[in-house]
A and B are shown apart, each in its own frame.
Chain A
Amino acid sequence: MSRSRGTAVATALLLAALAAAGCGLGPGSGIGAVKLTVTREFGAVPMRADSVEADESDTVMRVLEGSAEISTRYGGGYVQSIDGVAEAERGGDPYDWFFYVDGVESPIGAADFSLRGGERIWWDYRDWSATNHVPAVVGSWPAPFVAGYEGREHPVAVECEGGGEACALTRRALEREGVAVATAAPDGAIRVLVGPWARVRSDPAAAQVEGGPEESGVYADFERDGGGFRLVGLDPKGEATTSFGPGAGLVAATRRYEGPPVWLVTGATPAAVRAAAGLLDPARLRDHYAVASEDGKETSLPVEAP
Chain B
Amino acid sequence: MRSPFAYVPRPRPLQAASPGAAVAYLGALVAVAFLYSSPPVLFAVGFAAALAGRLAGAGGAVRSAVRLGLAIALPIVIVNVLVVDRGETVLARLGEWPLLGQVDVTAEALADGAVFGLRAVVVMIAFAVYSSCVDPDRVLRALRPLAGRSALTATLVSRLVPVAAADAGRLRDAARLRGPGAAEAGRAPLARRLLAGSLDRAVDVAATLELRGYGLGPSARRRGQRRLPRSRFDRRFHLAAALVLAAAIAGKLAGADGFDAYPTVTVGLGASTVALAALVAASGLAPLRWPPARRQPRPVAPAPAPPPRGPAAAAPPTAADVETANV
Contact = CB atoms under 8 A, between A and B. Distances in A.
| Residue among A18, A23, A77 with the highest chain B CB neighbour number at 10 A | A23
Interface of B: 84-88, 90-96, 102, 104, 108, 260-264
Given A21-B96, A23-B95, A65-B264, A76 B90 contact: no
A21 B92 contact: no
A30 interface: no
Contacts of A55: 90
Given A23-B94, A65-B88, A111-B86, A76 B262 contact: yes
Interface stretch (A40-48, A56-64, A218-226): A56-64
B86 A76 contact: yes
Contacts of B86: 61, 75-77, 111
B95 A65 contact: no
Interface string A23-44: 1111110000000000000000
Given A57-B104, A61-B263, A76-B262, A21 B90 contact: no
Given A57-B104, A62-B88, A23 B263 contact: no
Contact of A26 (B84, B91, B94, B96): B91
A76 B93 contact: no
27 contacts: A21-B96, A23-B92, A23-B94, A23-B95, A25-B91, A25-B92, A26-B90, A26-B91, A26-B92, A27-B93, A27-B104, A55-B90, A57-B93, A61-B86, A62-B263, A65-B88, A66-B88, A70-B263, A72-B260, A72-B262, A75-B86, A76-B84, A76-B261, A76-B262, A77-B86, A111-B86, A114-B102
B265 to A, nearest CB: 11
A27 B104 CA distance: 8
A35 B214 CA distance: 78
Taking chain A's interface residues, is the majority helix, strand, or loop, or is none over half, making it mixed? mixed
Given A23-B95, A114-B102, A72 B263 contact: yes
A28 B89 CA distance: 12
Nearest to B262: A76
A21 B87 contact: no
A227 interface: no
A22 B88 contact: no
B111 to A, nearest CB: 11
Nearest to B84: A75
In the A-B complex, list the 7 residue pairs whose CB atoms are closest, starting with the nearest. Answer: A76-B262, A27-B90, A21-B95, A76-B86, A65-B263, A57-B90, A65-B88
B116 to A, nearest CB: 12
Nearest to B109: A76
B96 A76 contact: no
A23 B103 CA distance: 9
Nearest to A110: B86
